[in-house]
Amino acid sequence: MSTLDPAGSAARSIANLWWLMLTGAVSLFALVMILFAMVMIRPHWGAKVAPARWIVFGGLCLPAIVLTPLVAYALVTGERLLPGTGADPMRIEAQAAQWKWKFRYPGIDGGETEGVLHLPAGKPVDIVVTSVDVIHAFWIPRLGGKIDAVPGHRNVLRLQADVPGHYQGLCNEFCGIGHSRMRFDVIVHPAAEFSAALAKPDAAGKVPQ
């Protein structure tokens, strides 16, 4: 479940952003605490810096230097994660209901699975997320960020799993008493075997037609 153990491109770029921010945050926190300790322990030390400088350097320059590149970096990262770009990726429909997930794979033999999502490895997929009742959220922490399932709206999330394997997904928006248990399994197949694996009548989670 760990977002820090990414298994997909989106999760990886977000994890990178996190480590970067963590480094920055630790240094800034240390800076503030050291300054606090210094002004308390060494009364004359800080008085050498004029009052206006304290405010201009600490209050204005410091955040400007930190925030401007950070926002730029985060926005660029965000742009790269957007769905709908690149060569027409595969679409999978995820439909949330209290308290289960259904997945449909248009274009692939009319398959529908419940509680299990099948994905191809190494290929971008756009997940179209909807809800039939209250708001839920679709999240596979190791593959990427989350998106809400809002009744009346269709939201799209771009994911790409690196390698075949088993992962966990869950509902991440409070949706009533079944919220804690509204999880689903994710099975990532080698891209070449994906359609075949899904077409099998005994594929995990397959809803009989």
Partner 1 sequence: MNTTIDDGTHGGSALKLHRQLAEIWATGPGLQRLAAINHSVIGVRFMVTAFVFFAIGGVLGMLTRVQLATPNATFMDAETYNQVFTMHGSIMLFLFAIPMLEGIAVYLTPKMLGTRDFAFPRLTAYGYWCYLFGGTILTTALVAGVAPDSGWFMYTPLSSNVYTPGINADVWLLGVTFVEISALTLAVEIIVSILTMRAPGMSLDRMPIFGWYMLVTALMMVVAFPPLILGSILLETERAFGLPFFDPSRGGDPLLWQHLFWLFGHPDVYIIFLPMAGLLSTMIPVFAGTPLIGYRAIIVAIIGLAFISFGIWVHHMFTVGIPHLALAFFSAGSAIVAVPTSVQLFAWLATLAHGRPIWNVPMLYIFGFFSTFAIGGLTGVMLAMVPFDWQAHDTYFVVAHFHYVIGGSVAFPILAALYYWLPLLTGRTAVYRLAIPAFWLIFVGFNMTFFLMHLAGLLGMPRRIYTYPAVENWTWLNLLSSLGGFIMTIGFALVVIDLIAQVRYGRRVRRDPWKAATLEWAMPIPPSPYAFASLPHIEVRADRIAVGDLAPSLARGEGYLGFVRNGWQETLGVHMTSGMPEQLIVLPRSTYLPLWTALATATAVLCMLFKLYLLSLGMVLVTAALFVLAGQSAGQTRDYGLLPVGRGLSLPPHTETTNPPAWWALAFTLVADGTLFTSLIFGLLYLWISAPNWPPVGRPDTSLAIALASVVVLVVAAISARGALRAVVGSRAPGAWIALSAAALVAAIAGLVVLIGNVIPRPTEHALGATAAAVLGFVVLHAAIGLLFLLSNILRLTFGLVSARRHIDFRLTRLWSDYTAITGALAIGLVLALPALVDLLGMRS
Partner 2 sequence: MKAKSQPETLTNSTMKVHKGQACHLWLLAVGFSVWACALAAAYVLHSVGCTFGWSTDTLRWSLALAILIHLALIGALWRTFARRFPTPPLSQTDSFMRWVIMGTLIAAFITIVFTLGPALFLTTCT
Instruction: Indicate whether 65 belongs to the interface with partner 2 (CB under 8 A).
Output: no
How many residues make contact with partner 1 (CB under 8 A)?
Answer: 76
Least distance (Å) between residue 96 CB and partner 2 = 21
Q: Does 82 bind partner 2 (CB under 8 A)?
A: yes
CA 95 to chain centre: 18
**79 forms part of the interface with partner 2 (CB under 8 A):** yes
Q: Which is nearer to partner 2, 85 or 180 (CB)?
A: 85
CB of 161: closest distance to partner 1 in angstroms? 16
Is residue 84 part of the contact set for partner 1 (CB under 8 A)? no
Residues 88 to 147 in contact with partner 2, rule: CB under 8 A: none
Q: Which stretch binds partner 2 (CB under 8 A): 26-34, 80-88, 113-121, 178-186?
A: 80-88
Q: Under rule CB under 5 A, which residues in 116-175 are in contact with Cu ion?
A: 136, 171, 175
Q: Which residues bind Cu ion (CB under 5 A)?
A: 136, 171, 175, 182
Q: Which residues bind partner 2 (CB under 8 A)?
A: 68, 71-72, 75, 79, 82-85, 156
